[in-house]
Structure formats: C-alpha cells, structure tokens
C-alpha cells in the first residue's frame, strides 16, 4: 500500500497479485480442448489460478475547519483467471463527500458506478449446455441464461447517528442483472445499518 499526500490531502493506493496452486476446474473445455457440455466428458482440471487487483482512494478537497471533510474519489479493479473464473474482471469508481452540511459534519453522501464482466468461456459453456439439452426457450426453468455484463449505479446518504451507529439509505439501479440482457433492469432501495463497539 502506498499512502502519499497530494496537496496535503491523504490517499491510499493498493495493488496486488494472487496465485493459487489449488486445482481449479476449467470454465468451458474438457481434457481434449472441446466444449465439455457437448462432449459429456469431465471439465479439464487446471493446476493453478491467478489474478490481480488495483485500488485507489484520494481526498481532493477539504474544509479549513475540519480536514476530514471534503470530496474524495475512489476506484477499484480486479482481473481474474479466464480459464477458471466465472467473472474475469470487475471495475468500480465513485465519489464520496463527507460533511456536506455544516450541521451534519460527519454525514457522508456517495455515488458509485460498477461494471461486472462475465468470462466469455463461462458464457460459451452456458450456450453449449443449452445446445446439449436442446433447450432454447428463456422461460424454460432448465434454460441456462448466457451471462455477459452487468452495470450498476448506487447513490447513498450516510447518517452519522452516534459514534457507534451509522444508517445509510441507498438507491441502486442495475442494468442487465446478473449479466443477463433478457432480464428487466432493476431499481432497488436499501438500508444499511453499521455499528461499531
């Protein structure tokens, strides 16, 4: 983790890589490199999997009366092994403003957008599975919907009730839920209660 100060304001920058030598199952192919869902053979085994992540959080503005107040930006990205993972990459970015109102200096408001991309091999496997079963009707309960990309946006307001309790009502909009384009977009209201003792 790198924690520089830009114009005297704090930031955190993270990067990481993981490698696992635990056995993992291929998302699409059998031992002969053919679609396992069509051949009926077992999915081939991989001796490892890997991935990496990046994370950035940086405060951009402050209030003279309280340096913890102000606008911050953040972004996160993860990339995963395309042979074995259902999701091959994820990207998120957003902004948070702490202390918008002088009367509520510890409240915060935030907005973020995210994109989840499903591994193309995982999508091909769903298509091959449907082909093997001769099921092409989305409304059939045995149909396996091919997944692609899900997009989401969230707006929240964090109410600092006490030093140990924060209440965060939020509103989320999800396009192509689960990466399935045939599904209707979703608008969801939520409430998060966070406590610390």
HEC string for 22-84: CCEEEEEEECCCCEHHHHCCCEEEECCEEEEEEEEEEECCCECCECCCEEEEEEEEEEECCCC
Cα dist from 26 to 19, 37, 50, 86, 97, whole Å: 16, 12, 13, 10, 43
Average pLDDT over residues 35-45: 96
Question: Which pLDDT does position 65 carry in this prediction?
Answer: 76
Which structure tokens are listed for 147? 């997944």
pTM value is: 0.90
Percentage of the chain surpassing pLDDT 90? 93
In this prediction, residue 147 has a pLDDT band, given cuts at 50, 70 and 90, of very high
Give yes or no for residue 84 having a pLDDT over 90: yes
In this prediction, residue 194 has a pLDDT band, given cuts at 50, 70 and 90, of very high
Average pLDDT over residues 114-133: 97
Q: Any idea where the domains of the chain sit in the sequence?
A: 14-195
Average pLDDT over residues 43-54: 95
User: Which one, of 44, 45, 24, lies nearest residue 34 by Cα?
Assistant: 44
């Amino acid at each position: 983790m790198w924690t520089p100060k830009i114009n005297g304001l704090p930031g955190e920058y993270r990067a990481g890589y993981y490698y696992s030598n635990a056995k993992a199952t291929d998302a699409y192919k059998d031992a002969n490199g053919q679609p396992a869902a069509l051949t009926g053979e077992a999915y081939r085994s991989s001796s490892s999997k890997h991935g990496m992540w990046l994370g950035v959080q940086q405060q951009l503005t402050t209030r003279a009366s309280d340096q913890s107040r102000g606008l911050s930006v953040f972004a996160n990205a993860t990339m995963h092994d395309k042979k074995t993972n259902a999701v091959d990459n994820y990207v998120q970015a957003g902004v948070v403003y702490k202390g918008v109102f002088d009367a509520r200096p510890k409240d915060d408001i935030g907005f973020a957008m995210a994109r989840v991309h499903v591994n193309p091999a995982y999508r091909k496997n769903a298509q091959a599975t449907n082909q093997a079963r001769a099921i092409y009707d989305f409304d059939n309960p045995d149909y396996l919907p091919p997944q692609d990309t899900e997009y989401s946006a969230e707006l929240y307001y964090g109410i600092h009730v006490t030093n140990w309790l924060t209440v965060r009502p939020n509103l989320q909009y999800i396009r192509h839920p689960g990466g399935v384009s045939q599904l209707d977009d979703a608008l969801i209201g939520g409430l998060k209660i966070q406590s610390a003792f």
